[in-house]
Structures are given as C-alpha cells and as structure tokens.
Amino acid sequence: MKCLIIDAVHSSIAEEFSKYMQVDTHMLPTQEELAKLIPDYDVLIMRVDPAINKEILDAAKNLKVIGVCSVGLNHIDMDTAKAKGIQVFNAPGMNANAVAELTISKMLDLSRHTIPANYDVKVNKNWDKYKFVGRELRGKTLGILGFGRIGQRVGELGRAFKMNIVAYDPYLPAHVFEEQQATSMSIDDVLKTSDYVTIHMPLTPETKNLFNAKSIAEMKPDAVVLNMARGGIVNEKDMYEALKAGKIGGYASDVMENELAAGGLTEGATFDSPLFECDNFIVTPHLGAQSTDASRDIAELIISKVKE
C-alpha cells in the first residue's frame, strides 16, 4: 500500500505507517496537483488544504482512507467519498484544550498589557512599570458564545481563575450548563454582563457577522472580545471603528476574515488590516490548534482509525 501525506502532521504518522507501506510527502499540493498524484495512493493524510472535491475523488482509483488531522470535514466532498466507499476519519474535540489555553493566554495578555510592555522594553528600551497597570481575571464575568467542546474547556479554565461563567448556546440542553457551572443566558444578556466575551461557535450563515456594532453597543466599554473561532463571525470594520473610538476595551483574535486569501498558503504573501493600527488589538495567525500535544493526540487517533 501507499500513503500520501500533504500537510504538516505529527511525525509519528509517517513513522508508524512506514512499517506497513510506502509513505510519501508532498506538502500542500493544489487541487490540480493532488488529482494527478492521488491515483497511486491507498491512504491520504491531510489537514484542511486543499479542499477534496469530486475531481480528486474520481481520480483516486486506489484510495481507501482519508485521515483528516483536524476537526471539521466541510472541506471534503463527503457524499462522493461515501459513494466511492472511501472512509474519512477526523479528530473531533482533540484540539479543544489547545484552543482553550490560547484563549486564556490572550485574556491575560490583554488584561496585563504584556504584548505592548514587551515591545516597550525590547524595542524602546524603556523599563516603566507604571505605564502598563492591568487588571486581574479573578471575580470578572466571562461570557462564552458557543458552549461546545472548546467553549466548555474555556469555562473550566475560567473557573480556575475564579471567574463567573455565563454562556449563550441555544442548541444545548439546560443540564450541560448546570454540569459546567455556567449560567445560560440570551446573547444580549451575555454581552451586557460580561467583562470578557469569547466566541467559540462555527461560522455558518447564522453566525456570519453575528458580532457587530450592535453587539459592541450592548457591552461594557472596558470589556474585551476574543474570537478564536472563525474570521467572518466578528465584523472587523465595526470592531476597528469601536477600538478607534474607545468603545471597547480590546480585541484578541486568532482568525481573520481574509486570512487565507491574504496570506495563508501563498509563500511570501503579506497580510494587512486596518486593525493592525490598534494597540488594543492582538492577533495570532490561526495558532489555536498548533500545539505539539494536540498534534500528537490527533496523530494517535488517526493512526488507530486508519489501521483499523
């Protein structure tokens, strides 16, 4: 058998599968390149790029299994895969802790101004502790929009910081909130009461632009917003205007509306946004799931499913 790996996945996958089959790596082929490569392979290991369309699956004469080392499957034509008897495995929930820890780190960074302070010391050579007086998480209200695997883990970590947890998720039964010691609220009440609002819902037609100028107007002026879910849920233009006008305490994001088109896969591509002008905006390049622990856990699961 032959296995093709097309993304940066944990090395244990290649090590393990090399015991049974030929393992080749071709990093991030385009859809056209993959359609040409795929006929030889029995196993495909990937993350989210490129999207697996019907043309690729039609060309995949020998393919038996796709191991997707990430959570979602909406980049794969599942109907065609099913019709062709190609099994597709993913790793739901395996990166929840990685994303949740990054969320908490951003809450701490924004609250204690660690990023501008670090810059002030290293770049401006200043050592001024009075410039960056922050606030603690303890006793504050943490509002979680989308209370699934990641949202619940953020809630657990927030409780360890002695925060009050409130959450909005209309698709969950009441007992989930009780078990998680969180108060279930409408989205408006979460926005009104929270000192930190963190977004952990999928991007859907319903959630696109869900967080906008109207949401910001409901919040406390020193509250902080975090988007660790998907670009497009937060209206970046509205957020920029609110930050500039001092209507909101800060915005931390791991995702942006045009992240793929602007940078992402194209080597050397640069990425700009008006938000970069704002000191109280902090951003990371979709790092949520990027921990060695999460990749190892995901790899273990994918190895066992593919072997089965």
Interface with ligand NAD by CB under 6 A: which residues? Answer: 71, 93, 95-96, 99, 145-151, 168-172, 200-203, 206-207, 228-230, 254-255, 286, 288-289
Quick one: 166 or 201, whose CB is closer to ligand NAD?
A: 201
Whether 156 is catalytic is no
- Closest CB 289 distance from ligand NAD, rounded Å: 4
Catalytic residue (choose from 10, 149, 230, 236): 230
Number of residues in the chain: 308
- Closest CB 167 distance from ligand NAD, rounded Å: 9
Integer distance in angstroms from the first to the last C-alpha of the chain?
15
- Closest CB 229 distance from ligand NAD, rounded Å: 4
- Closest CB 83 distance from ligand NAD, rounded Å: 26
- Distance between CA atoms of residues 143 and 261, nearest Å: 31
Asked if 23 contacts 3 with a C-beta cutoff of 8 angstroms, the reply is yes
Nearest C-alpha neighbor of 304 from the set 84, 8, 16:
16
- Closest CB 184 distance from ligand NAD, rounded Å: 11
Asked if 43 contacts 16 with a C-beta cutoff of 8 angstroms, the reply is no
Quick one: 94 or 216, whose CB is closer to ligand NAD?
A: 94
User: In degrees rounded to 5, what are phi and psi of residue 59?
Assistant: -80, -15
Catalytic residue (choose from 10, 149, 153, 286): 286
User: Is the C-alpha dihedral spanning 169, 298, 102, 244 positive or negative?
Assistant: negative
- Peptide bond before 50: cis, by omega within 30 degrees of 0? yes
Whether 259 is catalytic is yes
- Closest CB 201 distance from ligand NAD, rounded Å: 4
From residue 81, alpha-carbon distances to 7, 55, 56, 88, 218 in Å are 20, 11, 10, 8, 45
H/E element, 125: none
Quick one: 135 or 305, whose CB is closer to ligand NAD?
A: 305
- Distance between CA atoms of residues 133 and 89, nearest Å: 47
- For residue 44, give the 3-state DSSP assignment: strand
- Closest CB 203 distance from ligand NAD, rounded Å: 6
Nearest C-alpha neighbor of 155 from the set 144, 170, 145, 146:
144
Whether 32 is catalytic is no
Quick one: 59 or 78, whose CB is closer to ligand NAD?
A: 78
Q: Which residue is nearest to ligand NAD (CB)?
A: 148
Quick one: 249 or 288, whose CB is closer to ligand NAD?
A: 288
Which are the contacts of 8, defined by CB distance < 8 A and separation ≥ 6?
Answer: 27, 47
Other Cβ atoms closer than 10 A to 106: 25
DSSP at 88: E
Quick one: 59 or 203, whose CB is closer to ligand NAD?
A: 203
Quick one: 118 or 186, whose CB is closer to ligand NAD?
A: 186
Catalytic (active-site) positions: 230, 259, 286
